[in-house]
Amino acid sequence: MSTELPELGVAVVGHSFMGAVHSHAWRTVDHVGSPRFRTRRLVLAGRDAGRAQAAAAQFGWEEGVDDWRPLLERDDVHVVDILTPGDSHAEIAIAALEAGKHVICEKPLAKTVEEAQRMTQAAQAASARGVRSMVAFNYRKVPAIGLARQLVEAGRLGEVRQVRAVYLQDWIVDPEFPLTWRLQKDRSGAGALGDIGSHIIDAAQFITGQRLTGVSGAVETFVKTRPLEAARTGQNTGLGAEASTERGEVTVDDAAVFFGRGDGGALMTFEATRMALGRKNGMRIEVNGSRGSIAFDFESMNELHFFDGTLPDAENGFRRILATEPEHPGVSNWWPAGHGLGYDHPFVHELQEFLGAIADERDPSPSFADGLQVQQVLEAVQRSADNQSVYTSI
């Protein structure tokens, strides 16, 4: 009896920063846990043949091409991984699903709710044919965040009353930082609100099990114009780029703040900014309940802090849990207890979920429907900010 795993051919569309991260995850996923497939990194697609070929060689793909469309006609391509700017997510995902390819797509799912709705409809139709899809909210797969969800589900916090979530970065503080695609609404869909705000919306809802039902928010663009990007050669991270002397208008927000209510009654507050000088990747969530609290900071990603309000005062205080034990979500496939994980590991975990769902003939989580719901929250925040309204229903 053969023990050889079935082969799954993978094509990735897009490169730069996420290309490097996802490529690393695809290289690793076959070598941890109990793999269900032998994945083959077939092809990396970009817009420029030279840059795509260079990225393919650097990241370990067999070839680099400048057009994703012919990949959908190839019988050896079974999975399409979408890492492009948001303006092309819908076109690529819908075409790939209709061609019978499994799809994993970076967040936010789309530029608009209408695009996300079409993607979700395509995903549901594809699911009926056994074709799977997933949106890549990688922070769900951080072990400490998974543990936080388990504590809430087990009732250790009692009634969830308040959530505060922030995502703080500073990579565009310099007013001479160039006008990359992330700062152009027609390509990205939104600024800090969509880019990093989508992460804390999904994480807060995932941990608490509550969906936002309405929001009130404000957004601000502090630097109104930036130097246009100059022509680039070689590898670009997608965060930094060379600039020219000509300037263009920034059409997205630099920062967003909003509050909302969960469908279980929790009051939730959010802040997403790329202008918090000194903060590099400060993604933090605190949940307060009637019996306890939890607190998480991604800059200490292997730790979860838990306050058990049922203990006597003399025994109380936040307890630091090192989320590296085998029983913690996702940890058993890695190192001995106490040997922490890093930024790249949650991407491997999400690929394990994706591939496991394909093997088990089930839909993975988070789904395109989950991505659509987050998109609806983002649009409601933007609508509230535009109209200066007190509260906007979702």
Q: Could you give the domains of the chain?
A: 7-138 (3.40.50.720), 141-363+373-393 (3.30.360.10)
State both tokens at 265.
């009654």
SS3 347: helix
Q: What is the pLDDT along the chain (394 residues), one digit of tens a residue?
A: 346 899 999 999 999 999 999 999 999 999 999 999 999 999 999 999 999 999 999 999 999 999 999 999 999 999 999 999 999 999 999 999 999 999 999 999 999 999 999 999 999 999 999 999 999 999 999 999 999 999 999 999 999 999 999 999 999 999 999 999 999 999 999 999 999 999 999 999 999 999 999 999 999 999 999 999 874 433 344 454 555 679 999 999 999 999 999 999 999 999 999 999 999 999 999 999 999 999 999 999 999 999 999 998 757 799 999 999 999 999 999 999 999 999 999 999 999 999 999 999 999 999 999 999 999 999 999 999 999 877 788 8
Both tokens of 374, joined, read 């987050």
DSSP for 278-302, please give it: T-SSEEEEEEEESSEEEEEEGGGTT
CA distances from 209 to 146, 167, 206, 213, 283 (A): 12, 20, 5, 13, 19
**Is the torsion defined by CA of 356, 35, 145, 170 positive or negative?**
negative
pTM: 0.94
- DSSP for 157-205 reads T-SEEEEEEEEE--TT-STTS-B-GGG-HHHHS-SHHHHTHHHHHHHHH
Element (H, E) at 141: none
CB 109 within 8 A of CB 135: yes
Nearest to 366 by CA among 117, 193, 160, 132: 132
* CA 304 – CA 320 distance, rounded (Å): 6
Are residues 97 and 77 in contact, defined by beta-carbon separation less than 8 angstroms? no
How far, in Å, CA of 22 to CA of 64, rounded?
15
